[in-house]
Structure 1
Amino acid sequence: MSKTEFIAHVRESDKRLQSVSNHLLETASIARTLAAKLDLAEAGELMGLMHDFGKYSEKFQKYIRRVTGMLSYADLDSEDENNGGDHSTAGAQWIYRRLRKFGAAKNEYGKISGIGELIGQILGLCIASHHGAGLIDCLSPESNEKPKWRERFDKDDKLTHLSECEKNADDIIINRAEELVGAELVKLLDKAIVDILKQKNLSPKSKEFYLGCLTRFLFSCLIDADRINTSDFENERQKEIRNLTKIPNWQEAIDKLESHLSAFSIKYPIDEIRRNISESCLTRSQDKQGIYTLTVPTGGGKTLASLRYALHHAKLHNLDRIIYIIPYTSIIDQNAQAVREILGEEWVLEHHSNIEPDQQTWQNKLLSENWDKPIIFTTMVQFLDAWFGSGTRGVRHIHAMTKSVLIFDEIQTLPIKCVHLFCNVLNWLTQFGKSSAVLCTATQPLLNALKNPELGQVQLAENAELMGNQSEVQKLFDDLSRVEIHYRSQAGGYSLENAGTFLLEKFEQYSSCLFIVNTKKWAQDLYRYCQSHNIPQEALFHLSTNQCSAHRKTIFDKIKLRLKNKEPVICISTQLIEAGVDISMACVIRALGGLDSIAQSAGRCNRHGENAGKGKVYVLNLKEPALDKVLPDIHIGQQKAESVLKDFEGQDILQPNAMSQYFDYYFYSRSNEMAYSLPNNYSGTLLDWLSDNAQNTYVPKNDQRTTKYPLLMQSFKSAGQLFQTIDAPTQAVIVPYKNAKELIAILCGTDNNEQKYKALAQAQRYSVNVFPNVWRKLQENNAIQETQLGSGIYYLKDRHYTEEYGLSIEESGNLTFYDL
């Protein structure tokens, strides 16, 4: 077989072949560009050259020639023995065996450096993992057996076909790889590694975690490069318009934003305060890079103020993109649309939910979305899943988080169990990833002052608060005080009847009322209560995450129009509405929850200071049986909030001092949960597994090694399998709301990958994330269907989606919510 005949991929549309050499060279070029952001271009290129080196084997070539001509190519990147076998280990072995020789000789003190072995392990790990469920384990987390990475790197030549591939490989591949795998590459990565290890303020655990971050960055560069090249092979026009090295014209965006801001008129006193907040952000955007806080009361105009900071900061420091990380999908549409209207469609990308499946296949490689616009809106779930989740779906976004401005909105919603994981990642991104970050909220959780700093806490920049010192922040809260909080408590909690009566009384009094509850069941029951008491249907609204983003936007628009026209409104919502949604009611009722949630809910009342007096916010303790089992975070928040309500009785509980007291009660009293505790049948924490694997009994770990440099000891794959940002994994399903029906038809019917990609991107706004128990019920009721066999993308049948409630298990629309 001549070397020109070695095939990597076959294009579905016209059966055109992509040679192994072309795929390796093109992937290497892209990976080089991506890794160059952190001055690791040669490392990226070498990984790209060797990632599919095993496809030079006769076994893979026989396989791909056998399937050529079939209608489906879903398994072309599978490593099953029946589908061409292992074609990723050969490249990992080739790199590791050459690099481990560097630093293997003893120095004058009789010690071995070990730098080459560590670098070979890092690069080899990325290559060996690129077809699987994310980075493989270095150590098995619960045993002292031979390290998993060594098992993989020592795999028999008969199974990896390394020797055969070396003979078959094109000269251009081997020659360039030999040029790269030398002292200069070692020097390059040695600097990146030493920069981490020499940090005096880092614990050994954090240092090993940071080495894992460096590995994930390189893995991300390889995964995205591989997917981009595969996608561009299928769609050559896409390749022509792609420019990976282009830095956005930030000045153009700045000019548009400044023009928009200059047109703002001062209608209320609050508008002057918002302008001052924006001016402070503009001034502070000229600071050096680092982690900053933006502590502004609800309604302070954080979205545009933080955008102003980010645009000017990105221009000053020559950064690649701005990423907004938001707690709820419900806010993404609104905030993204606000920015899109100012800057234009070409500037903004929304990344809502994971529609495509975890496992990489040839088919979903072509459809998966990469962050190719200057300003990205995504969720905290997406951010954390990219770093810690299983699979390769999210990891491709990690490199995009470097050399960027990261705006974390409502940072207090960070899950308790993820605190140390998050702090370590954010520190790595800002200290070694050339990024800056802003932690935005009205209720700052003080991530820089944790009880166990050795496990990782945020390293803030000097003078980190963009609004000034503590007294200046307090004055800002005083100036923006627009509501009064009233706590109403009944023994045993308000029943549905009593809560409904209270709501209708306030509706009669104020004409516009928002009732925010903790569970979907309460929202639906209260909505039905209002229906049964003859509230006009046009004035009554229900909101929950069982409605897709586009559906919720329609409801928000109707509510805003009625409020503008002074028409009566009752809105009953889960907590999705409490943060960042630009709606202002005369009266807000909040089911007892955490004080931070109460504060955010209060931001939906008298938001613009339009009422003559202060807006009224009522907090009720509802009858919520078993909430401690179903939603333990909310249950604990309720307990701690009640303590603060008593401590600050008669005072403004939205002031920073009250919030600090709340976080002392709630946040820091739970310090033993912040490293992500594991189920009882596992030892240690997820932080352990992703750093030094402290509980593992394998003897030659880093604390016993005699070499200067450590080795990676993480259990990456095992950690990813257990990691869940929220307490149960969710599966996205596209729902048949309005335009989504056309998108579903395209995804079901077309073989054109360009059409599929566009439809999938648009379908983000029409997807709903559901928990496993609901997913099982939908399957049992034949309510969901795969778009095409093997696509891993699902849609909901028409009869299971209603205008009132959204996704429904039963055809009637009566969904049993299990108190979720």
Structure 2
Amino acid sequence: MAFIAHPAKIGSAHQSVKTHLIEVGHLAAKYAAKIGAQDVGVLIGLLHDLGKYSKAFQDYMQLIIRELGANYDPDLDDVDSKSLKGKIDHSSAGAQWIFQNLLPIALKAFPDRNSTDQKLATAVVQILALCIASHHSGLIDNLPSENGAGFLARIKKPDAQTHLHECIQVVDAEVISSVEAIATAEFIKAMVNKLKSIVSIDLSNDRDIVAAFNLGFYTKFLFSSLIDADRVNSADFENPDYSQHRHLKPDWTLACQRIETFVTTLKTRNTVDEIRKQISDNCLKRAVDAQGIYSLTVPTGGGKTYSSLRFALHHAKKHQLDRIFYIIPYTSIIEQNAEAIRSVLQRDDDPRPWVLEHHSNLEPEQQTWHSKLVGENWDAPIVLTTMVQFLETLLSGGTRGVRRLHQLANSVIVFDEIQALPINCIHLFNNSLNFLAAHCKTTAVLCTATQPLLHQVQNEHKGRLHLPTGNELVPDVGELFQQLKRVEILDKTTVAGWSLEEIAALALEQLQLKQSCLIIVNTKNWAQALFKSVQQTKQVETEALIHLSTAQCPVHRKLLLARVRQRLDAGLPVLCFSTQLIEAGVDVDFASVIRFQAGLDSLAQAAGRCNRNGRQQTAQVYVVNPAKETIDLLPDIKVGRDTTKRIFNEFKGQDFLKPEVMQQYFQYYFFDRSKEMSYPLKATATNGANDLLNLLSVNARNSSSNTPLTLHQAFMTAGKAFKAIDAPTQSLIVPHGEGKALITDLCAVNKKFDAANYYQLLRRSQKYSVNLFPNVWEKLQQQKAIYEIADGEGVYYLDERFYSEDFGVCTEPCAEQHNFVF
């Protein structure tokens, strides 16, 4: 009998279960080899779809072929058809085989019940079974909870539902013989030694948060290897041409030659250019150093993009790495940095693009068969994405984000503007990055002008960043800041605060005096209100008045920023109102800046948009405090603002941008928020757990000495909590420019599905997408302004009446008047 894993298109051969298992095992081994776990990859790959050998599943395959067509998801556990009702579980059988066969071997190899070795041996069994059992849902919770039965319930599921016994009778001999050849006592012993070295733990201490987190992260890495292998194999079966473009080793030698050629073309016209060259040369010199975690602390306008790229390319060449990541706080500068890198590296005759931009998740949270085939897995030489996407990869539930996790190994990760890391993710970030650097051949570079003290946070037992001695890539940071001093921050705050009219008047005054002025505010409402206030005065020509916010899609913002730069270069008037998105590395040079009071790090970043190229001897950043500003729901801004008030009082008359002042700011800021760094949770949402770090490590609230399990992590509960609280935005495509045509094409391609075309359309659509918070999404749905490209597809687009050329996405038709309440 031919056992079918995936039905083919008409006229093509179906993919057999045997072929799918062997090919996934090969791919998973390749990915898991990055942390020395090749055999684990083979084993979980061979067993992940063991349940597809059951008669029930094969009947389901025939149903799909007869009634539903090859575009239906063969991995779906839920079946709803007149011909076949109920559920077909094909992910539990492999997990049960692991538990039933490997656990006795593990216990025999390490018979001492109280030993760390036996705990690690049972952890090996648990990790493998957990990855297999979870490969459709995302990693499940290990222990029972109010929201789910937990891992052991899946292991104890009746054979009548998992079909394990039946599947073992008919499984292909080549598959089961390969499984049995690996699943031995020698394998268990080797894995125990591996775990000892990779997580460095003493399991006698059940409260060791970092140790337990490391064990969980190792599990996630293996899970990522399986998920991506499964998705890649399915996509390559649907479109065989895909495979020839995967896993290509970048030519770092060629890339290094190109950046060195580029560097020779840079002119040294002034002192700023000379200092930028010194920074770049220092980065080149340090690129041959060992892998690890480095900092690049450079004043704004110091040329971090090209300097860090120079380091990353030469470092990747030296250590034969797979890829380079740029993790950026806002989508607003992905395109700018991507273009800068392409200008150095890309040539028309190159066989593949050097750079991948991953702006947002247009894929649905609940994966469809289509999205599984075309999902973004970061397989490119240089990947630019956001901190949100990076954190989703580390922390979210499901399978969409975690499939990318293994790509972070054997790489350089450049964190641009690391100070923008969310405060509630600090311990989770520190522990993750420590693991990647220590065990995954990952080098990290923390770039910023305002270096946060991640290695000095309180509660060391929860996770501090491990920064080695000599980690700073440039010598004498203090002297560097003095040399590049081009701006002074002026405290113009008042007791009563500034009114809307007063701030607008100051902006117009600065425009008249300096010819260009940038006003950076804390909320979108203020940006729009100031824009409208100045617009109504009719004192500024239309082309000179610009508004920027994340409610505009990346292409829209790119056009507006191009207009800004063009006018600045030509000496024409420019008055720009923006949210803080413009602070994070956007390359603009205004003669004057007005900044709403916020954290000192934000003020320093705002200063980086002023006199950037040293055209004035000293320029000014005016800090103002609006009289009516609603930021109670924005704790990062509120606490930062209050801490800055303290710094202004203590260092009155001094240079607020000096590194030692910034260090004092972060010490105050981190002390005030130390209890928030573990991602605090509402007890009602997580069965009483107090924070995400707890759920992903010791899970103390639900742990019990009676459980035979070594891992206690509540992976699924943690993933849902993270999604619900920290990254609740949802993406939709907006009808700006080419976005209209892309929406039309996506709707058309879904009627006759073509994975290759759909994939390219989704990638192109990222630049025409906007991420919306739930309250905005709900308002637009009430207005019937959001549409799905096809029922159940999970990809959405916006009614064009709700997209403004001035402001982007609006919650009312754009012709209507907007009212802003302060």
TM-score, normalised to structure 1's length? Answer: 0.94
Report the counterpart of residue 349 of structure 2 in structure 1. Answer: none
Of 379-388 and 808-817, deviating more is: 808-817
* Cα offset, 1:685, TM superposition: 1.4
Map of 2:499 onto structure 1: 495
**Counterpart pick for 2:562 among 557, 568, 575:** 557
Match of 2:597 in 1: 592
> What code does the residue aligned with 1:76 have?
P
How many angstroms apart in 1 are the aligned matches of 2:425 and 2:73? 35
Query: Among residues 755, 758, 761, which one is paired with 1:756 in the alignment?
Result: 758
Q: Distance in 2 between matches of 1:28 and 1:683?
A: 36
Confirm or deny that 1:385 pairs with 2:388: no
- Residue pair 1:102, 1:116 contacting (<8 A) in 2 also: no
Distance 1:817 1:196 in 2: 57
CA contact 1:512–1:585 (8 Å) conserved in 2: yes
SS of equivalent residue, structure 1 residue 723? helix
1:60 has 2:57 as partner: yes
Aligned counterparts, 1:648-797, within 5 A: 648-681=651-684, 682-696=688-702, 698-700=704-706, 711-724=710-723, 727=726, 729-750=728-749, 751-797=753-799
Distance 1:812 1:666 in 2: 40
Q: Once structures 1 and 2 are overlaid, which stretch shifts more, 107-116 or 166-175?
A: 107-116
- Residue aligning to 1:258: 260
Indicate which of 77, 80, 83 corresponds to 1:79.
Answer: 77
For residue 490 of structure 1, report the CA deviation from its aligned partner.
Answer: 2.7
Letter in 2 for 1:596: D
Q: 2:429 — aligned with what? A: 422
Question: What corresponds to 1:44 in structure 2?
Answer: 41
Q: Which of 384, 387, 405 in structure 2 is aligned with 1:398?
A: 405
CA contact (8 A) 1:785 1:797 kept: yes
1:33 aligns with 2:40: no
Shift of 1:282: 0.9
Q: CA offsets, 1:255-293, max 9 Å, x none? A: 000000011111121000000001111111111111111
In the alignment, what sits opposite 1:164? 166
Describe the SS at the equivalent of 1:298. coil
Q: Distance in 1 between matches of 2:428 and 2:727?
A: 18
Match of 2:236 in 1: 232
Amino acid aligned to 1:99: L
Separation in 1, partners of 2:416, 2:478 = 20
Shift of 1:187: 3.7
Written as runs of structure 1 = structure 2, the 5 A alignment for 1:319-334 is 319-334=321-336
Cα distance between partner residues in 1 of 2:656 and 2:419: 16
C-alpha spacing 1:676/1:588, structure 2 compared with 1 (3 Å): same
SS at match of 1:105: helix
Equivalent position to 2:371, from 345, 364, 377: 364
Structure 2 counterpart of 1:431, from 429, 433, 438: 438
**2-side partners of 1:200 and 1:337: how far apart?**
48
Cα distance in 2, alignment partners of residues 84 and 525 from structure 1: 54
Residues 305-344 of structure 1 show CA distances to partners (whole Å, capped at 9, x for unaligned) of 1111111111111111111111111011000110011111
CA distance in 1, matches of 2:119, 2:621: 62
Letter in 2 for 1:228: V
Query: Using a 3 Å threshold, how does the CA distance of structure 1 residues 569 and 421 change in structure 2: closer, same or farther?
Result: same
Classify 1:238/1:449 alpha carbon distance in 2 versus 1 (closer, same or farther; 3 Å): same
Query: Structure 2 vs 1, CA of residues 404 and 26 (structure 1 numbering), >3 Å: closer, same or farther?
Result: same
Amino acid at match of 1:149: F
- Amino acid of the structure 2 residue aligned with 1:294: L
Q: What is the match of residue 513 of structure 1?
A: 517
Q: Which amino acid aligns with 2:812?
A: E
Q: 2:461 is matched with which residue?
A: 454
| 2:91 equivalent to 1:88 | yes
Does the C-alpha gap of structure 1 residues 106 and 798 become closer, same or farther in structure 2, counting only changes over 3 Å? Answer: closer
Is residue 2:484 matched to residue 1:480?
A: yes
Letter in 1 for 2:193: K
| Mapped contact 2:530–2:577 kept (Cα < 8 A) | yes
Give the deviation of 1:114 after TM superposition.
4.1
- Report % sequence identity: 47
2:77 corresponds to which letter in structure 1?
A: E
Deviation at 1:13? Answer: 6.2
Alignment partner, residue 526 of structure 2: 522
Once residues 337 and 110 of structure 1 are traced to their aligned partners in structure 2, the CA distance between those partners, rounded to angstroms, is 58
User: 1: distance between equivalents of 2:541 and 2:563?
Assistant: 14
Indicate conservation of the 8 Å contact 2:397/2:723, yes or no: no
CA pair 728-312 structure 1, distance change in 2 beyond 3 A: closer
1:108: Cα distance to partner? Answer: 8.3
Q: Compared with structure 1, are the counterparts of its residues 651 and 372 closer, same or farther at alpha carbon in structure 2 (3 Å cutoff)?
A: same
**What are structure 1's unaligned runs of at least 5 residues?**
none
Q: Does 1:123 align with 2:125?
A: no
Deviation at 1:697, TM superposition (A): 5.0
Q: How far off is 1:29 after superposition?
A: 1.3
1:578 pairs with 583, 600, 603, which one?
Answer: 583
Q: How far is 1:45 from its partner? A: 1.2
- Structure 1 residues 139 and 199: alpha-carbon distance in aligned structure 2, compared to 1, 3 A threshold: closer
1:546 to 547, 551, 572: 551
| CA-to-aligned-CA distance 1:358-378 (integer Å, 9 cap, x gap) | 223322111211212111101
What is the alpha-carbon distance in structure 1 between the residues aligned to residue 675 and residue 220 of structure 2?
Answer: 26
Q: State the Cα distance separating 1:186 from its structure 2 match.
A: 2.1
Give how far 1:184 is off. 4.2
**Partner Cα distance (2:442, 2:469) in 1:** 16
**Residue segments in structure 2 that go unaligned for 5+ positions in a row:** 80-84, 347-351
Structure 1 residues 62 and 88: alpha-carbon distance in aligned structure 2, compared to 1, 3 A threshold: same
Listed one character per residue, the Cα deviations across residues 382-408 of structure 1 (whole Å, up to 9, x for unaligned) are: 111111112211101100001111111
Q: What secondary structure, in the 3-state scheme, does the structure 2 residue paired with 1:341 have?
A: helix
Q: In 1, are the aligned partners of 2:788 and 2:795 still within 8 Å (CA)?
A: yes
Q: What is the Cα deviation at residue 814 of structure 1?
A: 5.6
Contact 1:76 1:361 in 2 (8 A): no
Using the alignment, how far apart are the partners of 2:646 and 2:233 within structure 1?
A: 57
Quick one: which of 7, 23, 32 aligns to 1:10? 7
**SS of residue paired to 2:325:** strand
Q: Do the aligned residues in 2 keep the contact of 1:515 with 1:588 (CA within 8 Å)?
A: yes
| Contact 2:109 2:185 (8 Å CA) reproduced | no
Q: Give matches, 1:788-807, under 5 Å.
A: 788-807=790-809
Q: Displacement, 1:542?
A: 0.5
Distance 1:640 1:352 in 2: 32
Q: How far, CA to CA, are the matches of 1:368 and 1:435 in structure 2?
A: 24
Q: Is the 8 A contact 2:249 2:322 kept in 1?
A: yes
Counterpart contact for 1:13–1:752, Cα < 8 Å: no
- The residue type paired with residue 261 of structure 2 is S
Aligned-partner Cα distance in 2 for 1:774–1:766: 18
> CA 1:813–1:235 in structure 2 vs 1: closer, same or farther (change >3 Å)?
farther
Letter paired with 1:590: R
The 1:269–1:83 alpha-carbon spacing in structure 2 relative to 1, beyond 3 Å, is farther
What are the Cα deviations for residues 466-523 of structure 1, in whole angstroms up to 9, with x where unaligned?
113xxx1100000000011111123332111111111111111111000000000001
Distance 1:365 1:110 in 2: 42
Determine if contact 1:51/1:127 at 8 Å carries over to the other structure.
yes
TM-score with structure 2 setting the length: 0.94
